[in-house]
């Protein structure tokens, strides 16, 4: 198995869709860079993996 395979990703379109919905406009390139730099700080990837295992694998 390729252990470097990406399982889930978020792209610019995803971010811009949320921006349009929440603040009514697209983000600037500078704002997108801030999101790119910081989004990982807000994602509980450990909890998401654990929850998926608990709900889908170990049920």
Q: Answer whether residue 49 is part of any domain.
A: yes
Inside any domain, residue 24: yes
Residue 1 resides in a domain: no
- What residue ranges of the chain have pLDDT lower than 70? none
Q: What is the pTM of this model?
A: 0.83
**Confidence at residue 24, expressed as pLDDT on a 0 to 100 scale:** 98
The count of domains in the chain is 1
pLDDT score at 59: 84
Q: Is residue 18 part of a domain?
A: yes
CA dihedral 18, 23, 32, 45 (to 10 degrees): -40
Provide the residue range defining the domain that includes 38.
Answer: 12-57
Write a three-state SS string for 1-59: CCCCCCCCCCCHHHHHHHHHHHHCCCCCHHHHHHHHHHHHHHCCHHHHHHHHHHHHHCC
**7 part of a folded domain:** no
In a domain, 4, yes or no: no
């Amino acid at each position: 198995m390729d252990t470097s395979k990406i399982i889930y990703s978020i792209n610019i379109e995803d971010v811009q869709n949320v921006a349009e919905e929440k603040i009514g406009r697209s983000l600037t390139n500078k704002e997108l860079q801030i999101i790119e730099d910081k989004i990982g700080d807000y994602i509980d990837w450990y909890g998401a993996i654990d929850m998926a295992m608990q709900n889908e694998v170990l049920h």
